[in-house]
Structure 1
Amino acid sequence: MEGQAGVVPLTGAEEYAAAVLALVRRIPPARAMTYGLIAEIVAEDLGRGGPRQVGNVMAASGDRYQHLVPENAVVVGPAQDDFAVPWWRVVNAAGSPPARHLTAALDALRAEGCPLTRDGRRVDLKRAIWFPDEPDVTS
């Protein structure tokens, strides 16, 4: 079924994924957000979802939800590769990037100058957390 002007409306899962991906794309370099914080912010608008749903969206952002990211979206990431979504800026509540992408994420975060803990294995959330109401400042 098509909506107005021939546009196919998003499913509930796609609407949620689009909101998550749009928020993640706004995280500035050298900053980070947690799955839980993203879930809280998206839930303010959509009234649903949690950290696990955010994780599921992030895990599928390169394939199942790729169509929800603008075609011209490019973010310079690990090893100067181009990504549509800066996945390495999303960490768990302890500041750890996804375990299966730990090295690539930490390399990208270091390259951006993101504050890490003393052991260099996690994001220092006290210094690196980003809230969307903060102005984007580039240095």
Structure 2
Amino acid sequence: MRMEYVEAVLELVALIPAGTAVAYGDVAELLGSGGARQVGSVLSHHGSSAPWWRVLKASGDAPPGHEREALALYVLEGTPLLGSYAEYLRTGEGRWRVDLMSARWAPSDGDFDRIDAIAEGLERRRHKMSAPDDEMTV
């Protein structure tokens, strides 16, 4: 995976406020590039310093293998949840998920300006990388 895509995903994920969430596919759509699996791969391999728990499956399920850690962060941030999450915290039993309908991040105009800048920067870097050598000289 190209580093310019990794950087763009991580930059966009950093904009997602506490208490909100988006699906992997939402990130790809906002960037205008890639897909849900690519975004998931970026977060899996490079996302430890990003708020990775705020990006999840469209079903609202937490990233596999990180359910307990993610749930603690959702509760701390006040992210809307569905199911028996209190039971899960106590015993590790029970099913829960993020209420993505209520928790979905609705970017403000200022957020969209930043998102557009990230997407445009990604596109410029990609174009520069794919340009023939003679186009790269100024």
When the two structures are superposed, what TM-score results if normalisation uses the length of structure 1? 0.66
- Structure 1 consecutive aligned stretches of length 4 or more whose deviation exceeds 6 Å: none
Aligned amino acid, residue 58 of structure 1: L
Take 2:106 and 2:2, find their aligned partners in 1: how far apart are those partners?
24
**Count of matched residue pairs:** 101
CA RMSD of aligned residues (A): 1.9
For structure 2, the residue ranges without an aligned partner over 5 or more in a row are 86-95, 112-138
Q: Which has the larger radius of gyration?
A: 2
Take 1:126 and 1:110, find their aligned partners in 2: how far apart are those partners?
17
Cα shift at 1:85: 0.6
Identity across the alignment (%)? 45
3-state SS in 1 of match to 2:65 = helix
When the two structures are superposed, what TM-score results if normalisation uses the length of structure 2? 0.67
Higher relative helix content: 2
Describe how 1:1-139 pairs up with structure 2 within 5 A.
13-43=2-32, 48-62=33-47, 84-120=49-85, 121-133=96-108
Aligned amino acid, residue 126 of structure 1: M
The aligned residue for residue 123 of structure 2 is none
Take 2:26 and 2:99, find their aligned partners in 1: how far apart are those partners?
15
For structure 1, the residue ranges without an aligned partner over 5 or more in a row are 1-11, 63-82
